[in-house]
Structure 1
Amino acid sequence: MNAYGTVLKQLIQLTGSKLSTISDVIGYDVSYISKWCNKSMLPAAKMAPEINRSMASLFAQEILSQENIKDFEKAFSMEVSSDDLENAVYHLLKENYSNSCNEASTELKQQTTYKPRILTLANDIYNFFNHELPQMLLDYNESLDVLCTLDVCRFALDSPSNAYSHLTPKHPVNVKIGVDTTLLYDDNNQGLEALYYFINAHKAINFDFYDNTLMRTLNTIVVKDHVAILCALDQYNRVNVASVIFDPEKVNQIYVRTLPSFRTPDLLAHATEQLEFYQHGYRTDFYTKDNFQFLLTLGFEYLLPQECWDKIIQTARERDKDEFMALIVAQLQITWEEIFEKNTLDFYVLKSSLMKYIDDGEIIFADVVYHMTPEERKLHIENVLALAKGNPNIHFYVIDDEQLVNTQHLIHFAIFNNRKKLFLKNPERYHTDVGPYFYSVLSDTLVQKISAYLDSIRTADYCIHYDAESLQAFYDKYGSLVYRMIDLSAFKK
């Protein structure tokens, strides 16, 4: 009931007026008066002043005849004289009529704003998911929580990974999303590659990936407080019809109903912040194993010379004001001295990142962004050669990412794996305010699948293997050229 209807009903009850009497006075059928009182309807704006003036006269006469003015004052919290009563009743009706008109106008605008959209045409569906929805996520100027039960692997395979990788939100976007593990674990590795390139293309978004076995029939995307998309899929699991709902109340009802489908036991990998990553000693425990795979996408922070350790610790302590990280670096120094002497280590390094490291010396050691000086880079090369000679289980695999057509620009996340634990690191997060620092992989099956995939890269055409002997031969042939490039980089500053 609107404010006008509430006041009108109060006046009728206070005076005991019959609707038929009011009908005779104002010249409107009883059904209209009843609707004004009970069904949120209002008199026409053109006739409202005359109607309100006639009813005010009637109600004032009844109140005075019943000597009921005190009850009127109490009911409407006002003081009024007998002479001003009719005018007071009229203004009471007039003001509440105006308020109800404003409320009705607002409600109509909301109904128009929240009007759902039904997408049935293939072009409309494509444009919505590839253009409108990503732009909506950017336009919301607040942190967003998103649920998506649709399979991310199929989406990544069917859509260009770089379609809107240039769109970077200025606020956190946290997405819980389903994964079809039968596709993810397929022997051809298409699902695994698609998922890796997907998170690289959307490196500014925090994803939690869930086995979608219990949610694969829901076909729902929900942005909490903002929009819900309910999808009907065809036989190829493509969106055939999409219903887009904007009413916040309904959106959040759908969110609450969908959230329980994302169960903790089904979590495969999740975006992880620095504190969460260190609070249980994850990183130091990670290096207690003896068989490692590292895919490095920025610089080369391993096999560092002794001269660099103190500098990195000092940078953490003095520049970053992070005593905790300085301690982590010191602990890793002790741990790594034994690891590099005898353990099996496979280093996969992008050719482009090696060239960049030669040019600018940037590494991210633990969480310390550090730029190696030209002299430190030369010492680093010499230390790599020495340690590789002392441990035949150290192997280097240089990936020529220029041969990876249409995907070389989508390799940002580094991979750190000991075949029992695996995490991904986002170097660009250290230069921006959005996106995850890490992804922790929780599924043992997924860890083993990624391990096997990295093993398979060794024989790829775009991958060149270097052991200690071939690495020394490369150094003997090109070492002076590399050193001149490093010296030249000093003049670019």
Structure 2
Amino acid sequence: MDDKNRFSILLEHLLEVAEVKNYTLAKRLQYDVSYIRKWVSGRMLPAKKTEKRVMEGISACVVDEATDDGRDLLLREYSVSIPSDLKAAIYDNLIAEYDYLQEELDSGEARIGPYTDFWAELNMLQYLTKMAHPVLRRVSQLDIVAVMDLMEMAREYRLKVANLQNGQLVDQRSYDNVYFKLMIDISREKWDPIYDAALIINVLTNFSHIHFKLFGSTAAAGRAVFVVKGDFAITGLLVSHSRCAAVTATEDPQNCESLYDNFSKLCVRDDQLFRDTSMRQLISQYDYMHTLLASNLRWMFGHLNELLLPDDLFEEILTAHEAELKDFLGATPAELRSVHNLAKGVVEETNIRILIYEAAFSSMAVSGELDFFSYKVSLTPDQRSRCISYVLQLCKQREKLEFRLISGRIVNDFQYVADPNMFLSGAASYLRLDNNCPVNRIAMVNNSVMEDRLSEYFDQVWNLDDQNVTKERNAIAEHIHHVLQGIHLITRAKSDEMEELQESWMNKI
């Protein structure tokens, strides 16, 4: 190993930025300093059996021994704010580079250029493992374009591409300098009305903390292409649900730049399936009101929001958070009251089909969190009860409102991901993405084909004839009433606990 490698380059960079000497690292790891010099030069790698201990030691030493300026630079580079998160991020980066290098050394691929490898055929797991290049840890600046026939892949591989394979969302910090364009083929013959619509919603949620754009075009058919501008690219032909042929991977900067430019040109505005927007824009540009006044309203609630609030509770929340809401939405209290009055009239007088997840009620009962125009507020137990009581009243008294209650998950693969919030109409439709990030929380449907796909998804769930969807109005009302009893029990338990604390405090006095 005569030349510097990715691991040695990273190690040298960390030590230089942190201003940590080889001797300091050697002392921390209890190694002779000659080993550190060989790691940095690329002449040697740490032994595989000591990988975890060595990487933990390096990350801890770099953070603990760094100068103040060096530590601040690394915090910005890894987009974290505290030293413990920085240690974890550096450890993850070191492990990724080390494992990638080891796999490359062991694989015996055919090298067709100084930075380029070729495989006649790979299974999808092998392809996706190579796609997970260590450069993706560099969250300080990434430009990615991918053209993938996602719906033609086996489901387990779709989840891996979407980073949902473990049922977990990726780290939900906002990354302002990470850009990702993904093109897929959503042709009818490849599309599962429920599974793939749920997948798309979860992909949008998962990547809403970065600048993510999703495109739909038949140009993605049969392709498996992933390019990081100027750094890495892997291309192949999808020949079955689980195999790729003619796979080429390159780290040549010029090739990566050229591939990025060429595939980016395929991602045209007319094929963009959703456009990013915000609640501030929805209100200021009157899209929020237009969707309320449109025909064929269909709403899916993964959590409760301002659309289902009685007048008095709306006014309480607005008054309590007036300054924050003005800053967040750019709307005056009078403007928000007008929006509420319109929404209330629509809810109480218009035909609407409403799907509500059972978890929306239980979450409100336990946490009290309400999505108030995309601004999260916490309700008191009394306010929670009044909010849910209003929904119960609507369910019992408003015949024009049709309700369905969703229990559990429609698709098991997404059981750990936030329930979707979808608002469809004959004029415009949008998703409200629940991901704990203030940026890109709303995805406006921007494509007629995707509009049809989401409408079909809603209809399919609405008409499901199984135990997951409750259709009888009395059964739904009974469930809501049960939730209200739960809030009462929670309130009483907290009250009893407070009395015990007060009695204990008085006894001490």
Structure 1 length as normaliser, TM-score? 0.66
CA distance in 2, matches of 1:154, 1:134: 23
**1:198, CA displacement in angstroms?**
3.7
Contact 1:426 1:437 in 2 (8 A): yes
- For residues 249-291 of structure 1, give each alpha carbon's deviation from its aligned partner in whole angstroms, at most 9, with x where no partner exists: 3222222222221122222223434555455322222111243
Q: Check if 1:157 corresponds to 2:128.
A: no
The counterpart of 1:463, out of the listed 459, 469, 474, is 469
Pick the aligned partner of 1:415 from 422, 430, 433: 422
Shift of the 226–277 alpha-carbon distance from structure 1 to 2, 3 Å rule, reads: farther
Residue aligned with 2:218, SS: coil
C-alpha separation between the residues in 1 aligned to 2:192 and 2:454? 12
Instruction: Report the CA distance shift for 1:457/1:176 in structure 2 as closer, same or farther (over 3 A).
Output: same
In structure 2, relative to structure 1, the CA distance for the partners of 1:296 and 1:174 (3 Å cut) is: farther
- Verify the 8 A CA contact 2:305 2:373 in the aligned structure 1: no
Q: Is 2:379 aligned against 1:372? A: yes
Aligned partner of 1:118 in structure 2 is: 118
Q: What amino acid maps onto 1:126 in structure 2?
A: L
1:324 aligns with 2:326: no
1:232 lines up with 2:237 in the alignment? yes
Instruction: Report Cα offsets for 1:35-72 as digits up to 9, x if no partner.
Output: xxxxxxxxxxxxxxxxxxxxxxxxxxxxxxxxxxxxxx
Q: Confirm or deny: 8 A CA contact 1:316 1:323 kept in the other structure.
A: no
Shift of residue 386 of structure 1? 3.1
1:177 equivalent among 168, 182, 204: 182
* Other-structure match for 2:504: none
Q: Which runs of 5+ in 1 are unaligned?
A: 1-110
Displacement of 1:438 in angstroms is 1.7
**Equivalence map 1:245-394=2 (5 Å):** 245-274=250-279, 277-319=282-324, 321-322=327-328, 324-327=330-333, 329-394=336-401
Report the CA distance between 1:343 and its aligned residue.
Answer: 0.9
Change (3 A) 1:114 1:289: farther
Runs of 5+ in structure 2 lacking a partner?
1-110, 499-509
User: What is the count of residue pairs matched by the alignment?
Assistant: 377
Output the amino acid matched with 1:140: R
In 2 relative to 1, CA 118–271 (structure 1 residues): closer, same or farther, beyond 3 Å?
A: farther
The aligned residue for residue 52 of structure 1 is none
Aligned residue among 437, 442, 448 for 1:438: 442
Question: 1:14-43: per-residue Cα shift (whole Å, max 9, x none)?
Answer: xxxxxxxxxxxxxxxxxxxxxxxxxxxxxx
Q: Letter of the aligned partner of 1:329 in structure 2?
A: L
Matched, 1:192 2:197: yes
Shift in CA distance, 492/143, structure 1 to aligned 2, threshold 3 Å:
farther
CA contact (8 A) 1:348 1:397 kept: yes
Deviation at 1:324, TM superposition (A): 1.5
1:475 and 1:262 mapped to 2: Cα distance? 45
Determine the structure 1 residue equivalent to 2:171. 168
CA contact (8 A) 2:389 2:484 kept: no
State the shift of 1:446 in Å: 2.3
Q: Residue 416 of structure 1: CA displacement? A: 1.3
- 1:136 alignment partner in structure 2: 135
Contact 2:180 2:212 in 1 (8 A): yes
Instruction: Summarize the Cα distance change of 1:365–1:300 in structure 2 as closer, same or farther, 3 Å threshold.
Output: closer
| Equivalent position amino acid for 1:168 in 2 | D
Deviation readout 1:176-197 (Å, 9 max, x if unpaired): 2222122477465443343334
Check whether the contact 1:374–1:487 (CA below 8 A) recurs between aligned residues. Answer: no
Please give the secondary structure, in 1, of the residue aligned with 2:246. Answer: strand
Task: Determine if contact 2:149/2:223 at 8 Å carries over to the other structure.
Answer: no
Give the secondary structure class of the aligned counterpart of 2:247.
strand
CA positional deviation for 1:318 = 2.3
Distance change >3 Å, CA 416–CA 401, structure 1 → 2: same
1:145 equivalent to 2:149? Answer no
Tell me which moved more, 413-422 or 188-197. Answer: 188-197
> How far did residue 292 of structure 1 move?
2.0
State the shift of 1:339 in Å: 0.3
361-370 or 261-270: which moved more?
A: 261-270
- The share of aligned pairs that are identical, in percent, is 14
Q: How many Å separate the matches in 2 of 1:132 and 1:220?
A: 9
The change in CA–CA distance for 1:277 and 1:245 in structure 2 (over 3 A counts) is: farther
Shift of 1:332: 1.9
Asked if structure 2 preserves the Cα contact closer than 8 Å seen for 1:207 and 1:270, the reply is: no
In structure 1, the partner of 2:61 is none
